[in-house]
Amino acid sequence: MTDVLTPVLSKNWGDAKSWTRAAYERTGGYDALRKALAMTPDAVMTEVKDSGLRGRGGAGFPTGMKWSFVPKDNPNPKYLVVNGDESEPGTCKDIPLMMASPHTLVEGVIISSYAIGVHTAFIYVRGEVLHVVRRMQQAVTEARDAGYLGTNIMGSGFDLEIVVHAGAGAYICGEETALLDSLEGRRGQPRLRPPFPAVAGLYASPTVINNVESIASVPSIIARGKDWFGSMGTEKSKGYTLYSLSGHVANPGQFEAPLGITLRELLELAGGVRDGHELKFFTPGGSSTPILTAEHLDVPLDYEGMAAAGSMLGTKALQIFDETTSVVRTTLRWVEFYKHESCGKCTPCREGTWWLVQMLRDFEAGTAKEGDIEKMLDLCDNIGGRSFCALADGAVACVTSAVKYFRSEFEAGYKKPAWELLPYELSARFSVPETTGAHA
Amino acid sequence: MTVTTKDTGVEQAVETITLTIDGIEVSVPKGTLVIRAAERLGIAIPRFCDHPLLDPVGACRQCMVEVPDMGNGRGMPKPQASCTLEAMPGMKISTQLSSPVAAKAQAGMLEMLLINHPLDCPICDKGGECPLQNQSMSNGNGESRYGGVKRTFPKPVPISAQVLLDRERCVLCARCTRFSEQISGDPFIALVERGALQQVGVYAEHPYDSYFSGNVIQICPVGALTSADYRFQSRPFDLVSTTTACEHCAAGCELRSDHRHYQVKRRLAGNAPEVNEEWNCDIGRFAFVSGRLTDRLTMPLLREDGVLRPASWPEAIDAAVAGLKAAGTHVGVLTGGRLTVETSYAYQRFARAVLGTNNVDFRARAASAEEEQFLAATVAGGTTDKAVTYADLERAGKVVLVGFEPEEESPIVFLRLRKAVRKKKLAVVAVAPLLSNGSAKLSATLVPTAPGAEAAALADLADVDAGTVVLLGERLAAVPGALSAAAALAARTGARLAWIPRRAGEVGAVTAGCLPGLLPGGRLVSDGVARIDTATAWDVESLPAEPGLDVNGMLGAASDETLKALVVAGAEISDFADPVSARDAFEHVGFLVSIENRLSDISSCADVVFPAALLEEQSGTFYNWEHRPRPVARVNKTLRSPMTDIRVLAALADAMGADLGIRTTASAAAELSELGAWDGARAEVPAFTATDDAITPDGFRLATWRELIDDSRRNDGAGELLATAKPPVARLSAATAVRAGVTEGGTVTVGTARGELTYDAAIDDTVVDGVVWIPSRASGRNVAEALGARAGDPVTAKEGARS
């Protein structure tokens, strides 16, 4: 089944010192940049647009179209901001990409900036991953030393500087407008739209915000052409992408495959659910996407397939849970995350997650009361679609989907603690040491 | 809370669009938010964060509505916040009245807002006038399904001496933080922390000391922000509310004054879109207790054996009449510029028709003949339709501030200028010795001008045209040639002029004729026709034709005893340009009648003292700087309340065998209105020349003005307010500091032959070299009294020890 994989972004991850410019260039790195600079910016943009590349950060908005929204007549500078604030539970693709091959992203940023007409680009990296921040900074320095950044890049007349910025530890800063506030040095909270970032984003100037993987995909599109890219994937979800599998699988990790692959195929690549167990439920794209179950093993993991199944492709972060897992406990842990990460700006998210956590704790402890499921679903209805940004939608999606597929487990929470129904040690991925001499 | 869109007096021709709300069509100007469009139909969508004068934020999510059609045939799949949704042509909106989805979204939001809200309504100041309470009743579920743990915080946290924060009551609507950032420009409060622990925080190194801090209490939709002095004082439903006008400056704010048991408990900004919109300053809000202190006068006092003793009214009136009659026409009347137009009118009529003199002046401050001529020519008898207005400030292309610090001297003018700067790209130019904090918040361009050099600066001012408005402060009276230069500038460029004095009664006093050369309505004493016109109206044979003495003349004549008697009302010795010589005059004058609310330094040396009603105990009118009548309503009156000034004057006139002709505020107003503005000869604008004395290379020049919160007696008793006053510092440039031997963090001693004052030094490189700025009346230091100097005078400056 190895022929299913299409390693492009991850092709060089196993190379010796893959993060260095020398290693990157040995495998054809920065050739796409040379090719792009020989094209007109419009031609580059058209190539990306025609490739059908869609945003890999979750929403799936066509990348080339996003670029074309930037007004040409705005006198302010234009900015490209790369969203590397990967913080979604389960999602692990941008960080390994930046860790293993930062130059792929740097090259993508340069080509994309050239296409949009940007002279200052920012890479906003989640602050907790300091080693990745350093890799990115080092890569930018190397690129500058090689003349890929700075003024008159490779004699093309094009100027570009890249700033690598470390976030300060807030999930909300992955929301693009909160990210802009954070980048400007303010508290990260989502902004009111309109104006949209394409018109008034960073420093009130036209700004394109793209996910790391989207931008990193650009060099391959330029190097090998839109037809090559479009030959992979499905009609509306073109190309390859990084799927990350975690949880109860034999071999968790990143799997680069064409869009539209199924979980059944991915599980085979990952060695299947851990030995002696079977799939109970999974998230298709991180904890913000409604969970799915074994009945969805053959649904194509692309934008349309997931939407049809009542979920979302999201960040293609497949968290795999086997039959030992308490869905109540899992949901509680997720909602605790959202409660902690709610920025506090709007009522439903701030107060609703505060309340949901308390209700879920009752379900977990077996102290919920008859009717609490309906109350919780009603509360989810009052939160979802009423909040300022999509954070709260993600927070309720896991709750409503969990109740949809595993209502009986919640009903059990009227009488019995979840840890008695499904003892937690059975679902532990790694055995818990007898003595807990932490940091001994 | 606010439910209607305010027309701020700036009319705009705008395109309208039509949409349908709950099946009813409504046409609104393009750009209108759906929540406001609904208001036009009388549909109140519940809200917390929305405020028509603040930028939309969409934080509370309370105002959810359903949008079956965006106007393009497509609906929105989820309910939308109507406070951030712009009305579109053909749009269809279903509010809670017609949409169960919207009603449920709103009820759900209220339920969530209440899960972490304490149930302390019975002891909360806001209980009874609380939007959260009201909207929970009108749009909520009535019963909470929440059984969990509530978030709590220690309470309360002071965000300034005047404003307290109970964090657990806060619904995080960000009205206060948006006000501080967008309206007043003092962003010293901000939301901090995240999730349910989000809270309003104060900058650790700087409390929320803003001249406008009280507004955040008023716009808080819950009881999270309360006023330190009103806290636990009353329940809203026990208060009696009166709409009146503020007496503290010439801005003319509408106020809501709330009293209980005949005592004013609090004052709120009134809703006057064309004047103060919905804001006021902290002085207007909090400085209202000075009239209830132990120095309140309630009965006449008579000097006997050198001591003032209580006296009966007949006794005091007899004594006053005897003293005034003995003085003949060698008598003067000084009113302090704080009186209503009706009262000012009564005083000048008393001077002219009863005492037979033109010796009358309201200017208990620096004053000049040039200023009187300027006021006679440009201010007297003015009307709002011809004068510069707040709306004109918003429309202007440029506003030039000369001798005028709006934030300190007329805070609502400052707010309107700031609004115009933010929303309409107004350019502000400050002709001043330094770029003040207020000017900086107006993004003003400084024309560095040493005090005294304003006339030359005005003569050289470039880029002034008919779209420019020049705002002139009362301080220019002390600068020879400045007002003449302003008049010349207006004549040359077509720019419009507005004079903005500090005190509330000054514009009214000019129109009432409280000046030695000016009769009511701009009539000149020197004009025989005008005199006859006035005499006829007053039913007297003639009026004195001899020009009177102005305030400087009267004080001088009192000192050398050529003036035999003075009647003084509403003034303090510390008000005058030189308090030392003023005190000398009041001590030397043969006979002194003082009519006051409170025992003052003038009434203390008077021969007869009459008590007068407080402003809150009478009705009347102020003309604000736009000449707009600002009606003062009687808020409350007790049996202790004395008569009004007009009644006292009428009683004195009766006893002197003359007739004042007016006995009530209403009759004074009617008479002044009947007289109207003079259509005959008017004064010419002054053409005085400037005195040019450059700062000598080794000399220093004084710059000074009054700050909003200072040692004024109006602030007496308002302790929390005074605690928010700016710390007194001397401002000087680095070069000046070097020359004076002063270092940052050190002190500077400013001196004259009369005395010295010492302040902490603040190095501020916007200050013109050679100039040292100090506040006129801060922390017990009266510059005019201690130094005998005024702005522009030479002073010494050196490093000093702390005084």
Task: State residue B12's pLDDT score.
Answer: 54
Domain end: A294, A322, A350, which one? A322
Reported confidence tier of residue B640, pLDDT bands at 50, 70, 90: confident
On whether both A246 and A172 belong to a single domain, the answer is no
Query: Is position A250 within any domain?
Result: yes
Query: For residue A196, is pLDDT > 90?
Result: yes
Query: Quick check: A163 and A120 in contact, CB under 8 A?
Result: yes
Query: For residue B780, is pLDDT > 60?
Result: yes
Query: For residue B278, is pLDDT > 90?
Result: yes
Chain B neighbors of A192, CB-CB under 8 A: 56-58, 84
Chain A neighbors of B203, CB-CB under 8 A: none
Domain end: A255, A287, A322, which one? A322
Rounded to two decimals, the pTM is 0.95
Q: Given an 8 Å threshold on Cβ–Cβ distance, is B61 in contact with A388?
A: yes
Reported confidence tier of residue B800, pLDDT bands at 50, 70, 90: confident
Task: State residue B568's pLDDT score.
Answer: 98
- Shortest alpha-carbon distance between residue B597 and chain A (Å): 50
- Asked if A80 reaches chain B (Cβ–Cβ under 8 Å), the answer is no
Task: State residue B572's pLDDT score.
Answer: 94
Query: For residue B242, is pLDDT > 90?
Result: yes
- Shortest alpha-carbon distance between residue A146 and chain B (Å): 43
Q: Given an 8 Å threshold on Cβ–Cβ distance, is B109 in contact with A388?
A: no
- Asked if A205 reaches chain B (Cβ–Cβ under 8 Å), the answer is no
Tokens of B107: 């009820």
- What is the rounded average pLDDT of the residues B732-757? 95
- Asked if B132 reaches chain A (Cβ–Cβ under 8 Å), the answer is no
* pLDDT tens digits, B697-741: 789 999 999 999 999 999 999 999 999 999 999 999 999 999 999
Reported confidence tier of residue B2, pLDDT bands at 50, 70, 90: very low
Query: Is position A432 within any domain?
Result: no
- What is the rounded average pLDDT of the residues B779-796? 95
Query: Is position A235 within any domain?
Result: no
On whether both A171 and A199 belong to a single domain, the answer is yes
Task: State residue B1's pLDDT score.
Answer: 34
On whether both A344 and A318 belong to a single domain, the answer is no
Give all strands (DSSP E) within B626-699, no chain letters: 629-632
Q: From edge to edge, which strands make up the β-sheet containing B496-500?
A: B445-448, B427-432, B398-402, B468-473, B496-500
- Asked if A374 reaches chain B (Cβ–Cβ under 8 Å), the answer is no
Please give the share of chain A, as a percent, with pLDDT higher than 90: 95
Q: Given an 8 Å threshold on Cβ–Cβ distance, is A348 in contact with B62?
A: no
- Shortest alpha-carbon distance between residue A343 and chain B (Å): 5
Query: For residue A430, is pLDDT > 80?
Result: no
- Shortest alpha-carbon distance between residue A352 and chain B (Å): 6
- Shortest alpha-carbon distance between residue B58 and chain A (Å): 7
Task: State residue A440's pLDDT score.
Answer: 36
Query: For residue A432, is pLDDT > 80?
Result: no
On whether both A310 and A420 belong to a single domain, the answer is no
The letter for the amino acid at A70 is V
* pLDDT tens digits, B641-675: 899 999 999 999 999 999 999 999 999 999 999 99
Give all strands (DSSP E) within B7-50, no chain letters: 16-21, 24-29
On whether both A288 and A317 belong to a single domain, the answer is yes
Q: Given an 8 Å threshold on Cβ–Cβ distance, is A342 in contact with B196?
A: yes
Instruction: Give the side-chain half-sphere CA count within 13 A for B61.
Output: 29
Here the CATH number for the domain that contains residue A251 is 3.10.20.600
The count of domains in chain A is 3
Mutate to test the interface with B, among A87, A346, A351 (most CBs of B within 10 A): A351
The CA distance from A290 to B243, in Å, is: 57
Q: Given an 8 Å threshold on Cβ–Cβ distance, is A386 in contact with B61?
A: yes
Q: Given an 8 Å threshold on Cβ–Cβ distance, is B109 in contact with A355?
A: no
Query: Is position A433 within any domain?
Result: no
Query: For residue B3, is pLDDT > 60?
Result: no
Q: What is the ipTM of this complex?
A: 0.94
Reported confidence tier of residue A434, pLDDT bands at 50, 70, 90: low
Give the residue among A201, A128, A210 at the shortest CA–CA distance from A170. A128
On whether both A52 and A188 belong to a single domain, the answer is yes
On whether both A57 and A159 belong to a single domain, the answer is yes
A212-230 helix and A102-116 helix, angle to the nearest 10 degrees: 80
Please give the share of chain B, as a percent, with pLDDT higher than 90: 93
Interface of A with B in 158-197 (CB under 8 A): 170, 172, 187, 192
Q: Given an 8 Å threshold on Cβ–Cβ distance, is A387 in contact with B61?
A: yes
The CA distance from B444 to B454, in Å, is: 17
Residues 6+ apart with CB under 8 A from A52: A62, A226, A229, A230, A233, A236, A238, A239
Domain end: A230, A255, A289, which one? A230
Q: Given an 8 Å threshold on Cβ–Cβ distance, is B58 in contact with A355?
A: no
- Asked if A381 reaches chain B (Cβ–Cβ under 8 Å), the answer is yes
Query: For residue B7, is pLDDT > 70?
Result: no
Query: Is position A279 within any domain?
Result: yes
Query: Is position A439 within any domain?
Result: no
Query: Quick check: B679 and B381 in contact, CB under 8 A?
Result: no
Residues 6+ apart with CB under 8 A from B728: B759, B760, B774, B775, B778, B779, B781
* pLDDT tens digits, A37-71: 999 999 999 999 999 999 999 889 999 999 999 99
Query: Quick check: B184 and B210 in contact, CB under 8 A?
Result: yes
- What is the rounded average pLDDT of the residues A279-303? 97
- Asked if A387 reaches chain B (Cβ–Cβ under 8 Å), the answer is yes
Of residues B802 and B220, more confidently modeled: B220
> Mean pLDDT score of chain B, rounded to an integer?
95
Residues 6+ apart with CB under 8 A from B690: B453, B455, B456, B479, B480, B481, B482, B485
Query: Which value, to the nearest 10 degrees, does the dihedral of the CA atoms of residues B360, B363, B369, B375 take?
Result: -100
Mutate to test the interface with B, among A355, A362, A379 (most CBs of B within 10 A): A355
On whether both A210 and A85 belong to a single domain, the answer is yes
- Asked if B115 reaches chain A (Cβ–Cβ under 8 Å), the answer is yes
Give all strands (DSSP E) within B112-235, no chain letters: 157-158, 163-165, 189-192, 199-202, 225-227
Chain B neighbors of A342, CB-CB under 8 A: 194-196
Tokens of B356: 């037979």
- Shortest alpha-carbon distance between residue B50 and chain A (Å): 13
Chain B neighbors of A388, CB-CB under 8 A: 58-59, 61
The full length of chain B comes to 803
Reported confidence tier of residue A293, pLDDT bands at 50, 70, 90: very high
On whether both A12 and A160 belong to a single domain, the answer is yes
- Asked if B191 reaches chain A (Cβ–Cβ under 8 Å), the answer is yes
- Asked if B194 reaches chain A (Cβ–Cβ under 8 Å), the answer is yes
Q: In a 3-state reduction of DSSP, which class is residue B710? A: coil
Domains of chain B: 16-113 (3.10.20.740), 116-292 (3.30.70.20), 310-362+507-675 (3.40.50.740), 381-502 (3.40.228.10), 700-799 (2.40.40.20)
Query: For residue A1, is pLDDT > 50?
Result: no
Q: Which of A172, A348, A355 is opposite residue B146, by nearest beta carbon?
A: A355
The CA distance from A331 to A403, in Å, is: 10
- Asked if A343 reaches chain B (Cβ–Cβ under 8 Å), the answer is yes
On whether both A318 and A396 belong to a single domain, the answer is no
Chain A neighbors of B56, CB-CB under 8 A: 192
* pLDDT tens digits, A224-253: 999 999 999 999 999 999 999 999 999 999
Q: In a 3-state reduction of DSSP, which class is residue B663? A: coil
Interface of A with B in 239-298 (CB under 8 A): none
Reported confidence tier of residue B14, pLDDT bands at 50, 70, 90: confident
- Shortest alpha-carbon distance between residue A324 and chain B (Å): 29
Task: State residue A32's pLDDT score.
Answer: 97
Reported confidence tier of residue B579, pLDDT bands at 50, 70, 90: very high
Q: Given an 8 Å threshold on Cβ–Cβ distance, is B112 in contact with A346?
A: no
* pLDDT tens digits, A401-422: 999 999 999 999 999 999 999 9
Here the CATH number for the domain that contains residue A50 is 3.40.50.11540
The CA distance from B421 to B440, in Å, is: 11
Q: Which of A345, A348, A359 is opposite residue B109, by nearest beta carbon?
A: A348
Give the residue among B653, B731, B70 at the shortest CA–CA distance from B405. B731
Alpha helices, DSSP H, located in B274-388: 282-286, 313-327, 341-349, 369-378
| Closest residue in A to B101 (Cα–Cα) | A382
| Closest residue in A to B117 (Cα–Cα) | A351
Reported confidence tier of residue B226, pLDDT bands at 50, 70, 90: very high
Query: Is position A440 within any domain?
Result: no
Task: State residue B209's pLDDT score.
Answer: 86
Task: State residue A433's pLDDT score.
Answer: 60
- Shortest alpha-carbon distance between residue A206 and chain B (Å): 21
Supply the range of the domain harboring residue A253.
Answer: 240-322
Task: State residue A45's pLDDT score.
Answer: 97
The CA distance from A37 to A349, in Å, is: 45
Q: Which of A342, A346, A351 is opposite residue B115, by nearest beta carbon?
A: A351
- What is the rounded average pLDDT of the residues A273-290? 96
Interface of A with B in 146-165 (CB under 8 A): none
Q: In a 3-state reduction of DSSP, which class is residue A208? A: strand
Q: Which of B151, B195, B198 is opposite residue A340, by nearest beta carbon?
A: B195
The CA distance from A112 to A281, in Å, is: 38
Query: For residue B416, is pLDDT > 50?
Result: yes
| DSSP annotation of B354 | I
- What is the rounded average pLDDT of the residues A370-391? 97
> Mean pLDDT score of chain A, rounded to an integer?
95
- Asked if B148 reaches chain A (Cβ–Cβ under 8 Å), the answer is yes
CB pairs under 8 A between A and B: 100
For chain A, the straight-line distance linking the first and the last C-alpha, in angstroms and rounded, comes to 43
For chain B, the straight-line distance linking the first and the last C-alpha, in angstroms and rounded, comes to 48
Here the CATH number for the domain that contains residue A368 is 1.20.1440.230
Task: State residue B4's pLDDT score.
Answer: 38
Reported confidence tier of residue A438, pLDDT bands at 50, 70, 90: very low
- Shortest alpha-carbon distance between residue A72 and chain B (Å): 24
- What is the rounded average pLDDT of the residues B322-337? 96
Place of tokens 């934030």: B407
On whether both A342 and A355 belong to a single domain, the answer is yes
Mutate to test the interface with B, among A186, A346, A347 (most CBs of B within 10 A): A347
Query: For residue B369, is pLDDT > 80?
Result: yes
On whether both A285 and A316 belong to a single domain, the answer is yes
What is the H or E stretch that residue A404 is in? helix A391-412
- Shortest alpha-carbon distance between residue B2 and chain A (Å): 21
Place of tokens 């202790």: B640
